[in-house]
């Protein structure tokens, strides 16, 4: 038998090492639809508790919105459940094309191609478009799915220090011998919540004749005055060559992603991107609901406005209470604790007080950068956030972290 005692012992030891390093991740089981208040079973086997959710990517509160659910039901009735095919064989319906057109309109791009997920979009795009003659120059904090996607491409790879424009310029100059230079960045960075300096990146790209790729998964639907994304927020709509984004966060939160941008680049992905060619179509039920989501947010900025207001309010409460909060303007608000075990203890204490957050630590963030990542939703009310801050202060007092800066936290709890 190949999976013998030696193999089993190896994996048991690895799992024990993860546990004893305080890095073990446990699932919490939700017993109702995704929302800002949910019934959660944790640890497994314990009775469910009603908790306020501060860790979903449900930025616009649309994950279980009645209009979105109704559109999904209607889509299921009209176009069925599954496509039993990839897109290019017999997996493309009218609704898929309609959603691609609407996404192009919303993002301000020439064309869009749906993928089963944004992870798949990132896995396909670099390999399909770039070769040995080209170079991909990525911000050092890009999402794991971009790192993986870049690995699949034959293009040369380089990085620049996070949001460091001087370093990016050096790298662009260094690679002038390449056929194409591509600057690769997240729009909003998922762990820190900060916004890429896309206006400066676009200016540098023009100066050094480079293309710009932005993964806007944590921005599409709410960043910018009308929620188009980080390119709207930074005033560069129409000047980003490639955007990837997800339907799995603000836009209903089910699943699905896309590559959007210059017509020829998107068409090349339609011809060559492997997750598009070899993985199943996004199901019509999700496509139909996503169309309703774009109708909802295309007609009104009320949801993104409320989200912005909630974010400002929550940041104010945390700062006032004496937490070490990463600065930024996105609805991702990280409360820094630095030590992985402390972050887990903090999350456990909050859960006991009815607040659902998760401690993030290695390998999701760098070692010594553990944190509680809080995320706001347009569906939160001030009352939710007032209850949440009470719990944060109570746990913060118990664990002795209030009023401590980075150096003091690390001194007291270790990196
Ligand atoms: C969430 C996320 C993804 C993955 O999106 P899926 O559609 O769930 O695969 C990709 N990139 C970034 C930046 C993300 O935050």
Q: Tens of pLDDT along 134-167?
A: 999 999 999 999 999 999 999 999 999 999 999 9
Pocket of ligand 1, candidates 138, 145, 283: which has the most ligand atoms within 8 Å of its Cβ, to mutate? 145
Nearest to 214 by CA among 235, 233, 229: 229
Cα of 257 vs centre of ligand 1, distance in Å, is: 8
Decide if 17 is inside a domain.
no
Nearest to 355 by CA among 315, 305, 393, 409: 393
Sheet hosting strand 370-375, strand order edge to edge? 332-338, 370-375, 359-360
Cα of 256 vs centre of ligand 1, distance in Å, is: 9
Decide if 147 is inside a domain.
yes
> Distances from the Cα of 83 to the Cαs of 70, 166, 320, in angstroms?
20, 48, 52
The residue-averaged pLDDT of 304-328 equals: 97
Confidence of residue 14 (pLDDT cuts 50, 70, 90): very high
Task: Count the residues in the chain.
Answer: 415
Decide if 19 is inside a domain.
no
Q: What is the pLDDT of residues 77-135, one digit of tens each?
A: 999 999 999 999 999 999 999 999 999 999 999 999 999 999 999 999 999 999 999 99
Residue 321 is encoded by which pair of tokens? Answer: 């209470």
- Are 272 and 307 part of one and the same domain? no
Sheet hosting strand 29-30, strand order edge to edge? 29-30, 37-41, 49-53, 355-356
Decide if 7 is inside a domain.
no
Per-residue pLDDT at 249: 98
- Torsion, CA 328, CA 329, CA 332, CA 334, rounded to 10: 30
Q: Are 282 and 98 in contact (CB under 8 A)?
A: no
Phi, psi of 295 (to 5 degrees): -65, -45
213: exposed, middle or buried (Cβ count in 10 Å: 0-12, 13-18, 19+): buried
> Is the model's pLDDT at 230 over the cut of 80?
yes
The CA-based angle 155-161-163, given to 5 degrees, is: 105
Catalytic residue among 65, 143, 175, 249: 249
Q: What is the pLDDT of residues 20-32, one digit of tens each?
A: 887 788 889 999 9
Provide the percentage of residues in the chain whose pLDDT is more than 90.
93
- Torsion, CA 22, CA 26, CA 30, CA 31, rounded to 10: -120
Q: What is the pLDDT of residues 186-213, one digit of tens each?
A: 999 999 999 999 999 999 999 999 999 9
- Are 47 and 118 part of one and the same domain? no
> Is the model's pLDDT at 412 over the cut of 90?
yes
Active site residue 249: yes
Confidence of residue 2 (pLDDT cuts 50, 70, 90): confident
Looking from the CA of residue 189, the nearest atom of ligand 1 is 13
Instruction: Give dist(CA 415, CA 406) in Å, integer.
Output: 10
Pocket of ligand 1, candidates 56, 115, 119: which has the most ligand atoms within 8 Å of its Cβ, to mutate? 119
Q: Are 339 and 407 in contact (CB under 8 A)?
A: no
* Alpha-helical regions (H) of 80-164: 87-90, 94-107, 118-129, 144-151
Cα of 220 vs centre of ligand 1, distance in Å, is: 11
- Are 259 and 165 part of one and the same domain? yes
Instruction: Give dist(CA 109, CA 133) in Å, integer.
Output: 26
Q: What is the pLDDT of residues 256-280, one digit of tens each?
A: 999 999 999 999 999 999 999 999 9
Per-residue pLDDT at 68: 98
Q: Are 415 and 338 in contact (CB under 8 A)?
A: yes
Q: Are 332 and 143 in contact (CB under 8 A)?
A: no
pTM here is 0.96
Residues with CB under 6 A from ligand 1: 117-119, 143, 145, 186, 190, 215, 217-218, 246, 248, 257
Decide if 231 is inside a domain.
yes
Cα of 240 vs centre of ligand 1, distance in Å, is: 18
Instruction: Give dist(CA 23, CA 361) in Å, integer.
Output: 7
User: Hey, which residues does 316 pair with through a beta bridge?
Assistant: none
The DSSP 8-state label assigned to residue 379 in this structure reads T
For the chain, give the mean pLDDT.
Answer: 96
- Are 331 and 404 part of one and the same domain? yes
Q: Are 326 and 101 in contact (CB under 8 A)?
A: no
- Are 308 and 286 part of one and the same domain? no
Site of tokens 């662009």:
172
* Alpha-helical regions (H) of 273-333: 274-278, 284-298, 302-321
Indicate the SS3 state at residue 88.
Answer: helix
- Are 91 and 145 part of one and the same domain? yes
Looking from the CA of residue 257, the nearest atom of ligand 1 is 7
Cα of 216 vs centre of ligand 1, distance in Å, is: 9
Per-residue pLDDT at 1: 65
Catalytic residue among 143, 171, 218, 231: 218
The residue-averaged pLDDT of 389-408 equals: 96
Shortest-distance Cα residue to atom 2 of ligand 1: 217
Instruction: Give dist(CA 212, CA 301) in Å, integer.
Output: 27
- Least confident range from 68-72, 241-245, 281-285, 327-331: namely 327-331
Indicate the SS3 state at residue 333.
Answer: strand
Nearest to 372 by CA among 334, 315, 328, 403: 334
Instruction: Give dist(CA 53, CA 225) in Å, integer.
Output: 26
Which residue range is the domain that position 203 belongs to? Answer: 66-299
Instruction: Give dist(CA 396, CA 301) in Å, integer.
Output: 35
The enclosing domain of 403 has a CATH number of 3.90.1150.10
- Are 177 and 263 part of one and the same domain? yes
The residue-averaged pLDDT of 316-341 equals: 95
Cα of 246 vs centre of ligand 1, distance in Å, is: 6
Looking from the CA of residue 255, the nearest atom of ligand 1 is 7
Domain boundary among 284, 299, 314: 299
Angle formed by the axes of helices 302-321 and 382-399, nearest 10°? 30
**Beta strand extents in 116-241 (DSSP E only):** 135-139, 156-160, 181-186, 210-215
Domain boundary among 254, 273, 299: 299
Looking from the CA of residue 247, the nearest atom of ligand 1 is 7
- Are 102 and 230 part of one and the same domain? yes
380: exposed, middle or buried (Cβ count in 10 Å: 0-12, 13-18, 19+): buried
For residue 336, give the H/E element and its range. strand 332-338
Q: How many domains does the chain have?
A: 2
Looking from the CA of residue 256, the nearest atom of ligand 1 is 7
Cα of 177 vs centre of ligand 1, distance in Å, is: 32
Catalytic residue among 63, 190, 279, 377: 190
Shortest-distance Cα residue to atom 5 of ligand 1: 118
- Are 273 and 312 part of one and the same domain? no
């Amino acid at each position: 038998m190949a999976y013998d005692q030696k193999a089993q012992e190896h994996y048991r030891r690895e799992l024990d090492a993860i546990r004893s390093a305080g890095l073990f991740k446990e699932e919490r089981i939700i017993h109702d639809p995704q929302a800002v208040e949910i019934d959660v079973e944790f640890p497994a086997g314990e009775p469910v508790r009603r908790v306020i959710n501060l860790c979903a990517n449900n930025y616009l509160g649309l994950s279980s919105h009645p209009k979105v659910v109704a559109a999904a039901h209607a889509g299921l009735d009209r176009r069925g459940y599954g496509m039993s095919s990839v897109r290019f064989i017999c997996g493309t319906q009218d609704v898929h094309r309609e959603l691609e057109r609407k996404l192009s309109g919303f993002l301000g791009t020439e064309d869009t191609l749906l993928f089963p997920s944004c992870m798949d979009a990132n896995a396909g795009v670099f390999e399909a478009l770039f070769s040995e003659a080209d170079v991909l120059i990525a911000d050092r904090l890009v999402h794991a799915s971009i790192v993986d996607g870049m690995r699949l491409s034959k293009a040369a790879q380089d990085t620049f220090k996070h949001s460091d424009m001087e370093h990016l310029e050096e790298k662009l100059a260094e690679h002038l011998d390449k056929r194409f230079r591509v600057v690769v960045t997240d729009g909003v960075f998922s762990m820190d919540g900060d916004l890429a300096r896309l206006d400066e990146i676009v200016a540098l790209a023009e100066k050094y004749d480079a293309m710009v790729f932005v993964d806007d998964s944590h921005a599409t639907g709410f960043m910018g005055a009308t929620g188009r994304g980080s390119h709207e927020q930074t005033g560069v709509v129409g000047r980003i060559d490639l955007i990837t984004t997800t339907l799995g966060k603000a836009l209903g939160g089910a699943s699905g992603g896309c590559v959007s941008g210059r017509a020829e680049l998107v068409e090349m992905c339609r011809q060559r991107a492997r997750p598009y060619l070899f993985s199943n179509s996004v199901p019509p039920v999700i496509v139909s609901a996503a169309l309703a989501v774009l109708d909802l947010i295309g007609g009104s900025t009320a949801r993104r406005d409320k989200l912005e207001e909630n974010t400002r309010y929550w940041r104010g409460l945390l700062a006032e209470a004496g937490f070490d909060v990463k600065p930024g303007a996105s609805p991702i608000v990280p409360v820094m604790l630095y030590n992985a075990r402390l972050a887990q203890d903090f999350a456990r204490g909050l859960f006991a007080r009815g607040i659902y957050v998760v401690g993030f630590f290695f390998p999701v963030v760098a070692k010594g950068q553990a944190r509680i990542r809080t995320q706001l939703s347009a569906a939160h009310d001030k009352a939710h956030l007032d209850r949440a801050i009470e719990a944060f202060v109570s746990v913060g007092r118990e664990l002795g972290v209030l009023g401590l800066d980075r150096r003091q936290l690390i001194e007291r709890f270790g990196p």
